[in-house]
Chains A and B, each alone.
Chain A
Amino acid sequence: MAGLMTVFQVFGDVRTTDEVVALIEQGAAVR
């Protein structure tokens, strides 16, 4: 993941699948 890390440290965010699924579900829950 070295390439991913290099760029996303500057622009973007790196998350695990578990974290992204949680963000999706949390986003839906706050509507």
Chain B
Amino acid sequence: MSVAFPSWFIENILARRGRQHVFDALEPRRTALLVVDMQNAWLQPGAPWEVQTARAIVPNVNRLARALREHGGVVAWLQATNTSAGPDAWPMFFDHFTSAANREAGENALAPGSPFHALYAELEVLPQDPCVRKRRFSPFIAGSSNLEALLRDRAIDTVIITGTRTNVCCETSKPLWCPTQPPLQVSSSKWPD
């Protein structure tokens, strides 16, 4: 799946920054690829929140993961995780922003052990890759996940973000604490506008 940015977008960035890209280099050993929510709940045909374009980026995600692992980086697979009760519950979202039917389908799909909670089978997840459960759109909101501690422990200062959906969980997965580099996002997928 190839991606091209429209000219208006590039022109806007140039007007703001004076250059298109902020950083022109990264150190792979201090870099993590965050793969966001590439679970069956979004990727499996007929799934509760199917995003057809998410299946199209699977080869790109696998390519990025292979390249980063080969050069010493971390590949972390994020999994949205919510249940109807207990520490994984998210009543603020499910009480107010979903219908009753969607709430039941959502909570059932994102419960650990559900087939929809699992990562999509065509993703190349290796045993050394951390799989991180998150309870909110962002893994970095307090109490959402242990991702920040995991990245700090491994001296990660740069993240590459990919996955689904672009304008929800990928955007909110930007760790603003990265000391030297901002997030870098590639080839995400979203529902059609």
Interface on A for B, CB 8 Å cutoff? Answer: 1-5, 7-17, 19-21, 23-28, 30
A28 nearest CB across to chain B (Å): 4
B152 within 8 A of A: no
A27 / chain B contacts, CB cutoff of 8 Å: 25-28, 31, 71
Sorting the interface of chain B by its residue count into under 10, 10 to 19, 20 to 34 or 35 or more gives 35 or more
A-B contacts counted at CB < 8 A amount to 100
CA distance A10 to B13 in the complex (A): 8
A9 and B13 within 8 A (CB): yes
B96: interface (CB < 8 Å): no
Q: Which residues from chain B contact A4 at a C-beta distance below 8 Å?
A: 166-167, 170-171, 185, 188, 190
- Within B146-188, the residues touching A (CB, 8 Å) are 160, 166-168, 170-171, 174, 176, 182-188
Q: Contact between B185 and A15 (Cβ–Cβ < 8 Å)?
A: yes
Which of the 9-residue segments B38-46, B62-70, B121-129 touches chain A?
B62-70
Closest approach, in angstroms, between the C-beta of B43 and any C-beta of chain A? 18
With A and B bound together, what is the CA distance between A3 and B172 in angstroms? Answer: 11
- Verify B183–A12 contact, CB threshold 8 A: yes
